[in-house]
Structure 1
Amino acid sequence: MLVYRGYSRKAHSATVLTIGNFDGVHLGHRALLARLTAVAADAGLPAAVLTFEPHPREFFAPQSAPSRLSTLREKLELLADDGVDLTYVCHFNGGFAALSADDFIATVLVDALRVRHLIVGDDFRFGARRSGDFALLREAGARLGFQVESMPSVTLEGERASSSAVRNALEDGRLEHAARLLGRPYSIDGRVVHGDKIGRQLGFATANIRIKHQKPPLQGVFAVEVKGLPGGPHRGAANLGYRPSANRVTRPLLEVHLFDFCADIYGAHLNVRFLHKLRDEMKFPDFNALKGQIANDVETAKAYFQF
């Protein structure tokens, strides 16, 4: 998949395009992407996505913006996995937010991305003050020579698959339900870095994984699977949070203890899949109480895997 920053470079050919934030790339997004790639294949054109960085809600209300399900890198990897050929990452700033709906159609869709067929969700709005809608797109398409279609929402057991629904499930510790909404277990990517070696002192060595999520959508202790190492995936127990009992950190830290694994993996880029929540983070009165709880967590995680 080719990735372009912005839309200043005119597309080399006409495109079949969809637009959205695609946070988490859940079942609703994946149904839309499946339709996108099918139409693109039939037309012999590239399947293209226009997405935004930062998320518009982070631009307009950074203090109240929800946690992100995926970083930009994670989102791009997921889009590539679903067959997208081109992704345009538009910098969402004041100038872009002020672009009128008509100017967005003319400048971005027609002139830059050369849209031939546009597929959007049934709730899609665009342009300054969200003034543009599906009816305006249909009218513009008839005048300017591109087709427009709308994708209905995807529901699962009566619930609309959405980033908010996934986020709520993760925050509540309902990881299995989040996985059903996503079509896969929720995961976070990161690189293994040197830590303070407290895990070794406790008898459970951990891989300290630097993550880019400033405000991850879940916290606590989990049974996990880790991809990115030889012989994997590997199973383990992970803590994601602020370590209130041992050298509390100010940024969320992901620590993973892999079962029956011993190797130098510093610098490795790993994908951690969260399968089941064991408990919330908690503060323990002393080192021995913490060590005992970690031992219990590891045994509980092993029991989950029937390890």
Structure 2
Amino acid sequence: MKLIRNPFKQKIQSVITIGNFDGLHLGHQRLIKALIESAHEFTLPSVLLTFEPHPTEFFSPQSPASRLMRFSEKWNVIKQYGVDYFCCLKFNAQLACLSAENFVKTILVDQFGAKKIIIGDNFRFGAKRLGDVALLQSLGKKYHFDVMALPQALYQEDRISSTRVRNALKIGDFETVQALTQNPFTLSGKVAYGDQIGRQLGYPTANIHLHRKQVPLQGIFVVRVHGLDGRILPGVASIGYRPTFHGKQIVLEVFLFDFNENIYGRSITVEFLSKIRDEIYFDSVPKLIAQIDSDVAIAKRYHATLLR
């Protein structure tokens, strides 16, 4: 899969799908599979077109939607489908003001030579989201490309969306997240040096800076960690601001059971299995330690059930 940051340097013919693809839920997966099938049918390269930053981060920088995936996480999942080109347009004022027809003409037609465009049946595009499927089909006749509008993917009779995944994560409903995405929810990053608070409490943690404006979940969780020499390691994790210590930055901290290795700088993936509780403030360190003891015991019992 080739990354295209600036489409105006590319001139190809292709089959295209468009979207934010945050979380790669079943609706997204259906689009990508249709993209690959149509590209083979047309004997043309497949192009997945997405945007950075996420449009909500551009329009609402103070209160953007929490990201389910960072760019690197999205890239690693999408390349597994066999997409030829991953095009990431910079979402800025110029792109936000581009009319629906100009978006189609200058980018999809002139630069990517679109012969078929695959979208969901609720697709909106162009300035003020004025473009819809009907307009895209009309422009297809004008500029000689086909349009495939896939019906919305449903779960329990409701539309599958990134927002629905975020809502499930917010309440720790990982069963629904799994149903909507067919994958466990994970966060990835490099283990960084922290302030050693966990070690002082008797629970040394692997600290991962999330590099996100918002995160889709907070609290204490049962987890397992991937990425360390092929092992799957059980543990318990905290995502939050560490209110007992008046933290200002959100951080992911993972305590791995029966583990005492130096993994600073290593990239790991944390898989979330179950929520234990919300993050809360404790008025003394001994009370916090007692709660951590309880959290670890709960997590160990959960992991024990997985081995039965």
TM-score (norm 2): 0.95
1:303 paired to 2:306: no
C-alpha displacement of 1:214: 2.1
> How do 1:242-257 and structure 2 match up within 5 A?
242-245=241-244, 247-257=245-255
Query: What letter corresponds to residue 261 of structure 1 in structure 2?
Result: F
Query: What letter corresponds to residue 8 of structure 2 in structure 1?
Result: S
C-alpha displacement of 1:62: 2.0
Q: Secondary structure at the match of 2:101?
A: helix
User: Following the alignment from structure 1 to structure 2, what is the Cα–Cα distance between the partners of residues 196 and 55?
Assistant: 32
Match of 2:6 in 1: 6
Question: How many residues of Structure 1 are paired with residues of Structure 2 in the alignment?
Answer: 305
User: Following the alignment from structure 1 to structure 2, what is the Cα–Cα distance between the partners of residues 209 and 68?
Assistant: 16
1:270 paired to 2:268: yes
Match of 1:130 in 2: 129
Query: What letter corresponds to residue 275 of structure 2 in structure 1?
Result: K
C-alpha displacement of 1:248: 2.9
Match of 2:115 in 1: 116
Give the conservation status (yes or no) of the 8 Å contact 1:214–1:251: no
| Most deviating of 111-120 and 82-91 | 82-91
C-alpha displacement of 1:42: 2.6
User: Following the alignment from structure 2 to structure 1, what is the Cα–Cα distance between the partners of residues 48 and 88?
Assistant: 8
Match of 1:48 in 2: 47
Which whole-Å deviations, capped at 9, do the CAs of 1:60-100 have from their partners, x for residues lacking one? 22223221111122222222123322111111111111111
Where does structure 1 differ by over 6 angstroms across 4 or more consecutive aligned residues? Answer: none
C-alpha displacement of 1:43: 2.5
Structure 1, unaligned stretches of length 5 or more? none
Query: What letter corresponds to residue 140 of structure 2 in structure 1?
Result: G
> How do 1:1-307 and structure 2 match up within 5 A?
1-11=1-11, 13-245=12-244, 247-306=245-304
Q: Secondary structure at the match of 2:259?
A: coil
Give the conservation status (yes or no) of the 8 Å contact 1:224–1:235: yes
Q: Secondary structure at the match of 1:8?
A: helix
Q: Secondary structure at the match of 1:289?
A: helix
Which whole-Å deviations, capped at 9, do the CAs of 1:107-145 have from their partners, x for residues lacking one? 100111111111001111111122211122212222322
Query: What letter corresponds to residue 21 of structure 1 in structure 2?
Result: N
C-alpha displacement of 1:182: 1.6
Q: Secondary structure at the match of 1:48?
A: strand
Which whole-Å deviations, capped at 9, do the CAs of 1:190-240 have from their partners, x for residues lacking one? 110111222222222110111112210100000112111114221210000
| Most deviating of 172-181 and 276-285 | 172-181
Give the conservation status (yes or no) of the 8 Å contact 1:176–1:276: no
How many percent identity over aligned positions?
A: 45
User: Following the alignment from structure 2 to structure 1, what is the Cα–Cα distance between the partners of residues 108 and 143?
Assistant: 10
User: Following the alignment from structure 2 to structure 1, what is the Cα–Cα distance between the partners of residues 115 and 224?
Assistant: 41
Query: What letter corresponds to residue 9 of structure 1 in structure 2?
Result: K
Query: What letter corresponds to residue 291 of structure 2 in structure 1?
Result: Q
User: Following the alignment from structure 1 to structure 2, what is the Cα–Cα distance between the partners of residues 192 and 164?
Assistant: 29
Q: Secondary structure at the match of 1:260?
A: coil
User: Following the alignment from structure 1 to structure 2, what is the Cα–Cα distance between the partners of residues 150 and 231?
Assistant: 40
User: Following the alignment from structure 2 to structure 1, what is the Cα–Cα distance between the partners of residues 242 and 212?
Assistant: 16
Give the conservation status (yes or no) of the 8 Å contact 2:64–2:214: no
| Most deviating of 78-87 and 275-284 | 78-87
**What CA RMSD, in Å, does the superposition of the two structures yield over aligned residues?**
1.4
| Most deviating of 53-62 and 166-175 | 53-62
